[in-house]
């Protein structure tokens, strides 16, 4: 009985939230967008469940409310899950309309789509190839065959590059500026010189953090921005 009671206590809030989503879906269907948006946002903030359907609805409702920053935030989260050409083009179009940077659709965008879809297999493939080449070199050494220095250096560079590829997803993230007026500074201090003052909605690449500051790329250089000025994706 105690076990059943504990399970009920655990699942009751979950069931309540799922019922709330059904209510929100009904409100969305009949056009009560503001009420539906409040329920969706509450669910998203409490659970951080990046459901594609939920993210699409939140993006649509935010854009409809002329909150393009939030719309791009939800679309960017969706792009982490299911990157597609139409989605990235939509983000680029919305960003261009409002003069925002960081959403450019180019060859790099295609690489992102490829990496997100097949990224889990790519390191395995490259590692397998590296092991194969390494074994071939060992066999040649064992048989007394000469190995050119350039081949040895190529192997070292390949392994270093592979190590960097494996660690890249963990070291970098992106964030969207959430405040209307945000200062990018040359070092992590409120007294530091201002590199540029930017408005909300721009997307930045985060490469590290120091105390209450994020280290980001902006205009080809490293700058610092307060953590509470960014919505991290």
> Residues 61-106: pLDDT tens digits?
999 999 999 999 999 988 887 888 888 889 999 999 999 988 887 7
Average pLDDT for residues 47-56, to the nearest whole number?
Answer: 79
To the question of pTM greater than 0.75 for the whole model, the response is no
Asked if 203 contacts 76 with a C-beta cutoff of 8 angstroms, the reply is yes
Token duo for residue 79: 């792009």
Residues in contact with 224: Cβ distance below 8 Å, sequence separation at least 6, in sequence order: 184, 185, 186, 187, 188, 192, 210, 213, 214, 215, 216
Give the pLDDT confidence of 176-220 residue by residue, as tens digits: 999 888 999 998 888 889 999 999 999 988 888 888 899 998 888
Average pLDDT for residues 2-31, to the nearest whole number?
Answer: 62
CA geometry: angle 93, 94, 99, nearest 5 deg: 95
Q: Percent helix, strand and coil across the chain, each rounded to 5?
A: 60, 15, 25
Chain centre to alpha carbon of residue 114 = 15
Q: Confidence band (pLDDT; 50, 70, 90) for 20?
A: confident
Percent of the chain with pLDDT over 90: 24
Asked if 106 contacts 88 with a C-beta cutoff of 8 angstroms, the reply is no
Give the pLDDT confidence of 112-157 residue by residue, as tens digits: 666 666 666 766 777 787 777 778 778 877 887 777 777 778 777 8
Distance in angstroms (rounded) separating the CA atoms of residues 97 and 84: 20
Give the pLDDT confidence of 58-69 residue by residue, as tens digits: 999 999 999 999
DSSP-based three-state secondary structure for 177: strand
- DSSP code per residue over 184-226: EESSSSTTSPEEEEE-TT-EEEEEEEETTEEEEEETTEEEEEE
Token duo for residue 107: 């060859």
């Amino acid at each position: 009985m105690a076990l059943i009671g504990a399970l009920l206590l655990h699942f009751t809030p979950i069931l309540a939230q799922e019922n709330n989503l059904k209510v929100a879906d009904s409100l969305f269907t009949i056009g009560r967008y503001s009420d539906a948006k409040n329920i969706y946002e509450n669910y998203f903030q409490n659970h951080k469940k990046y459901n594609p359907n939920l993210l699409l609805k939140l993006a649509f409702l935010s854009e409809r409310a002329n909150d393009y920053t939030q719309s791009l935030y939800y679309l960017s989260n969706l792009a982490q899950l299911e990157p597609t050409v139409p989605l990235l083009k939509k983000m680029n179009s919305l960003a261009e309309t409002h003069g925002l940077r960081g959403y450019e659709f180019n060859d790099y965008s295609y690489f992102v789509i490829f990496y997100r879809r097949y990224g889990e297999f790519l390191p395995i493939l490259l590692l397998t190839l590296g092991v194969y080449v390494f074994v071939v070199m060992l066999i040649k050494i064992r048989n007394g065959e000469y190995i050119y220095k350039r081949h040895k250096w190529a192997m070292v560079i390949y392994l270093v590059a592979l190590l960097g590829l494996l660690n890249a997803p963990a070291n970098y993230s992106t964030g969207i500026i959430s405040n209307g007026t945000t200062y990018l500074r040359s070092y992590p201090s409120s007294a530091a010189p201002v590199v540029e003052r930017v408005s909300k909605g721009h997307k930045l690449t985060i490469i590290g953090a120091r105390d209450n500051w994020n280290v980001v790329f902006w205009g080809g250089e490293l700058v610092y921005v307060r953590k509470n000025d960014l919505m991290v994706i």
